[in-house]
Amino acid sequence: MFYETSKRDHGLPHDPFKAIVAPRPIGWISSVSADGIPNLAPYSFFNAVSSRPDLVMFVSDGVKDSVTNIRQTGEFVANYVSAEFAAAMNESSIDAPNDVNEFELAGLGREPSRLVAPPRVAGVAAALECRMTQMVEPVDLQGNWVGSVMVIGQVVGVYIDDAMIRDGRFDVGFARHVTRMGYRDYHGPEGYFQMQRPRWQDDNPSK
């Protein structure tokens, strides 16, 4: 089959694009608002873009709380997602108002970072402490802003749980990483699995 994206005539029940650009690592982004409220959310439009210096990026589809916070404070942490944290990571993706602390919502502990204000998720295998270098507003072929924001940050500090280092290497088998596929699909150490995203309205119908 072949389809032109402008015509959206793939004839499939769901858009296959994200299933093709997969697996994607998940940047589990912690930030802090100007008022000091911690925020946590997963972003699978996430990757490394340079290694000298170490730069990572994530893309917010719309201007989400993480972007607002980082615009105000200039700092974030990209937490590593292991299988043990998959359910909590999913919970933290809830579309909660920006005064809600997703650490508390997902029952997660916080550990202070060394060089930046946002905390890391307690117990993660690794975390990248970042200072924002750029916010890019991607455009389409007509030059129109598509509505998303790419946040690029320089990694200024790297936390690694010592237990994850074997033979001098960060061992991804030990770290039991989870990656994002398309649709509701994920891939972890036990193979493929699915998770449905929580919705704030489902749990808070009056809000």
Ligand X SMILES: Cc1cc2nc3c(=O)[nH]c(=O)nc-3n(C[C@H](O)[C@H](O)[C@H](O)COP(=O)(O)O)c2cc1C
Report the chain's C-alpha Rg in angstroms.
17
Which CA distances in Å does 143 have to 8, 92, 146? 20, 33, 9
Cβ proximity to ligand X, 94 vs 130, nearer residue: 94
Structure tokens belonging to residue 33: 């608002």
Q: Please tell me whether residue 41 binds ligand X under the rule CB under 6 A.
A: yes
**Min. distance of Cβ 2 from ligand X in angstroms?**
26
CB 24 within 8 A of CB 47: yes
**Min. distance of Cβ 133 from ligand X in angstroms?**
19
**Min. distance of Cβ 96 from ligand X in angstroms?**
7
Footprint of ligand X on residues 177-206 (CB under 6 A)? 180, 197
Nearest to 40 by CA among 100, 127, 124: 100
Site string for ligand X, 145-184 (x = CB under 6 A): -----------------------------------x----
Footprint of ligand X on residues 71-110 (CB under 6 A)? 90, 93-95
**Residue type at 173 in one-letter notation:** G
Which CA distances in Å does 35 have to 1, 44, 73, 96, 180? 51, 27, 10, 17, 32
- Contact positions toward ligand X, by CB under 6 A? 26, 39, 41-45, 59-61, 64-66, 90, 93-95, 180, 197
